Amino acid sequence: MGKLRLLAILCFMLFLFAPLYASDTYEGKSADSQPPPVILEKQVEKTEPVIKSEPDAKPAMSESEIAPYKSNPAAVKAVEKNTALFTERIRERFSMWLSRSGKYMELMKEILKNKNVPEDIVFLSLIESGFNPHAYSVARAAGPWQFITSTAKRYGLAIDWWRDERRDPVKSTEAAANYLSDLYEMFGSWNLAMAAYNAGEGKILKALKRSKSDDYWPLLDTSYIRNETKNYVPKFIAASAIASNPEEFGFINIKYHQPLNYDEVMISGPLDLEVAAKCADTTVELIKELNPELRRWCTPPGIPVYILRIPSGTKEIFEKNLAGIPEDERFSVTAYTVKKGDTIKKIARKSGLSVKAVLALNSMERVKPLQPGTEITLPPKEKFQPDREDRYDNKKKYHKKTKKYHKNTKKYHKNTKSIKHIKTKKLNNKKVLVTAMNKKRNIAND
């Protein structure tokens, strides 16, 4: 009985304390005698607050980003080829470009910097135009950044009979910065952005898709882009290297032009450039040089306020002198009285103008009938000079007329041939050849 009682007590004690022992065992070790997994709270690193850049901020263009070409033999060859082009074949011309860069480069760099575009992009203007505001290509691209009309208007540049803002170094640089910024957003690479600036974004997107690449340099080994675009970035790299260190490439004693410096005045109503030059006590040539966007002898009519550039330090004397000139003496045009049978086309032809010019001068949007006795305005003969765009329009008009003439001539000959076609008929076992001149001659039977 004593043993049974002792066994019962032991069982009771085991039943009472076993769960506690089991619990202590789990907390101390895992089932395979390894230390239990330790659950740690997530450690949050203490970092400096992140300052988000502006939405349009772009990274600076480092050498590693803009010119990672040395591992690509085709790229190296292309850069060397263009370096030789600038330092040997067109050395004299490139020296002139470098000289002209002194006038515009710092101004353009400042604009690019304010637009969050790398300042070195300024050398695109060097290879596009040699920093020439009046550069004009066969594709009708104009200005230091060589905008075509459609792209220029898309980025806010005004182009009409009176002005062409593609030629303005400030306005065109702002437009170029915006365009290149958009291209960078699209491609994520300055090399591809520049290639697209040359070829168009559509062509570069298509080339990347076909080559299954996301980089510019592999495109050099394909036929998906033109040779001009293949050379574009290498040409930029070569020109940038030379312009940054001209002495290293043998360009010694470059005479850089003085930086562009000017005052601005607000003009209400059109103003002859001759009058502006007199008011600023300067020359018409200098007024034109400071305002290369102006295509005519005056500032554009129909604009409430036009900002005109004048030589630095002349604003006060300009405003004083202009105030003393009557309104009717500030802007010169020639009045023409419409005669019976006159049309805008006839008047334009007699005056040596384009229809577009007559419409622009008279604020007309389209050609319309003219009433005899009414007056229209024409340019003053002694001040009006056609520019390149005018000459191109006239040439285009001439070619259009020539093409129409040849088309009509061809049609005439075709009709004549059908009238004078050879007719044959049997006559007394012979063929008689009948021409339009009704002359007959016998020909032998076949």
Written as tens digits, the pLDDT of the chain (446 aa) is 455 454 554 554 444 444 433 334 333 333 333 333 332 333 333 333 332 333 344 555 544 455 567 878 888 999 999 999 999 999 999 999 999 999 999 999 999 999 999 999 999 999 999 999 999 999 999 999 999 999 999 999 999 999 999 999 999 999 999 999 999 999 999 999 999 999 999 999 999 999 999 999 999 999 999 999 999 999 999 999 999 999 999 999 999 999 999 999 999 999 999 999 999 999 999 999 999 999 999 999 989 999 999 999 999 999 999 999 999 999 999 999 999 999 999 999 888 888 888 998 898 888 888 999 999 999 998 888 888 888 776 665 544 555 555 555 656 555 655 555 544 444 444 444 444 444 444 433 33
Burial of 230 from C-beta contacts in 10 A (0-12 / 13-18 / 19+): buried
Please give the domain boundaries of the chain with CATH numbers for all domains: 63-249 (1.10.530.10), 262-329 (no CATH), 335-385 (3.10.350.10), 389-443 (no CATH)
In DSSP terms, 163 is beta-bridged to 294
Give pLDDT, residue 42: 33
Q: Name the residue among 332, 366, 307, 312 with its Cα closest to residue 158.
A: 307
Give pLDDT, residue 424: 44
How far apart are alpha carbons 124 and 143 in whole angstroms?
Answer: 12
Residue 265 phi, psi dihedral angles, 5° rounding? -130, 150
Give pLDDT, residue 65: 52
Q: Let me know if 128 is a catalytic residue.
A: yes
Give pLDDT, residue 74: 86
DSSP state string for 393-412: HHHHHHHHHHHHHHHHHHHH
Angle between helices 169-187 and 201-211 (to 10 degrees): 20
Give pLDDT, residue 356: 85
Q: Name the catalytic one among 48, 65, 119, 128.
A: 128
Q: Name the residue among 233, 204, 250 with its Cα closest to residue 79.
A: 233
Give pLDDT, residue 133: 98
How far apart are alpha carbons 322 and 267 in whole angstroms?
Answer: 10
Residue 136 phi, psi dihedral angles, 5° rounding? -145, 125
Question: Which structure tokens are listed for 207?
Answer: 């080339």
Give pLDDT, residue 50: 30
